Homo-oligomer: A and B are copies of this chain.
């Protein structure tokens, strides 16, 4: 980061050290060693002296669930027979390209050209790159002041890229979008943190979150010292949301003195929700990162902005924040850390403070910004890349749909397991009725029953699921989260290994 004093880089340090020797010995010899480094006092920082909010914060999709599989994989690499399986099957994180999903060619062509613009002056480039990727790269470079992809941008992101995103939102919703409402972020997570930082003043501020929820929300609320006000999604109706449940939880929170500020959710009986948020004065935090992940023909994505506007609610009627990310969809570009939030309904003075929060990290990364503009304005009919682009996109989405169906069917065939239909996103969240003996064994092993099951599954089959307890579940019910992302040729292995393991597990703990 900037640092404003002109530094004297160790000048006072040792005049005799201005030689550029790298040898520690010569270095030491020319150095008078300070008083013996006896560690008399306690270290300044211990777990007892760090921010307790950091301690409280939990993040179920990382940590042991990631570290243990890595350990196992290293053991297999070192000794192939170390475990009863030759490879780890990752079904735990929404990280498609880590499992072999290929990036969309057009997007990567444009990124490469923007990273190394001098390619655009070379004739060979026209052999290597599609015509429209070259045109798009020129267009983007012209939108970036000085064509400097290596410069900090406006804190909200490059204006021209926000224009492209706003145009994409308008085309999607049929309602206007203002580039000045768009904040480009390094993925959607920083956007969520920014909003939590803005809304949470103390533990008396509450955020309504669905259970099961994605742990980012609980983690962010904990880090910012707020209170997560849970509402349960109804598994019996395919994880539907009853507004009566929302009202119940809101009233319960209010009676405890909690000032509920916002509601987090993905699409669900949207008109009722919008009305509810307006009436209760809640900020609607719409997680819309799965807008492209729709696998059933009778379903279609409707943004909360489109729904609110179509209900006649304008800017002044509802505070609405929509999160989008390049990590999901058919693109799955998690490592690029691109995304945006569209903020509508906030006053100019509040907006200034949101802008300030964005500017404290200067700006999001430019490749991520470019990619966010590309996913919102992909190749169109007639563009040279369109055929390849749509083939790649449709190939990914139809394959995800097939994988979701296969896994869903496999889960529903397992004794004591029920799994809802996967209509979108990248995950299944099957429920498992564990035998009392298994729950007892888990207790003795000091783990939650679902964690106990997942750990056994991992160590015996190499399949990585995330225990439902990390996402929240109705007390007394147990689940695990399984992504639909292993490549299609791996799915049969997941199914057979899981099925065999489950039979043995259930028999082992049968009463």
**Are A283 and B98 CB-contacts (below 8 A) given A360-B189, A367-B115?**
no
Q: A376-406: which have CB < 8 Å to B?
A: 404
Q: Are B62 and A155 in contact (CB under 8 A)?
A: yes
Indicate if A306 sits at the interface (CB-CB under 8 A). Answer: yes
Give the chain B neighbours of A302 by CB distance below 8 A.
9-10, 13, 17
Q: Are B36 and A312 in contact (CB under 8 A)?
A: yes
**Are A50 and B238 CB-contacts (below 8 A) given A13-B302, A216-B2?**
no
Indicate if A314 sits at the interface (CB-CB under 8 A). Answer: yes
Cβ distance A506 to chain B, nearest Cβ, rounded Å: 24
Partner of A199, one of B6, B50, B224, B359: B50
Indicate if A511 sits at the interface (CB-CB under 8 A). Answer: no
Indicate if A44 sits at the interface (CB-CB under 8 A). Answer: yes
Q: A339–B270 Cα gap in the complex (Å)?
A: 41
How many copies are assembled?
2
Q: A11–B297 Cα gap in the complex (Å)?
A: 11
Indicate if A435 sits at the interface (CB-CB under 8 A). Answer: no
Chain A contact surface mostly: loop
Q: A306–B17 Cα gap in the complex (Å)?
A: 12
Indicate if A82 sits at the interface (CB-CB under 8 A). Answer: no
Q: Which of the 9-residue segments A247-255, A316-324, A450-458, A492-500 touches chain B?
A: A316-324
Indicate if A289 sits at the interface (CB-CB under 8 A). Answer: yes
Q: Are A301 and B10 in contact (CB under 8 A)?
A: yes
* Residues 150-188 of chain A, each 1 if its beta carbon lies under 8 Å from chain B, else 0: 111101000000000000000111110000000000111
30 contacts between A and B (CB under 8 A): A1-B192, A3-B266, A3-B289, A4-B214, A6-B427, A8-B299, A13-B307, A22-B171, A22-B174, A24-B175, A31-B311, A34-B271, A37-B312, A43-B316, A43-B346, A45-B283, A47-B353, A51-B199, A57-B360, A98-B148, A99-B146, A103-B150, A111-B116, A115-B367, A122-B128, A148-B335, A150-B333, A151-B334, A153-B335, A219-B360
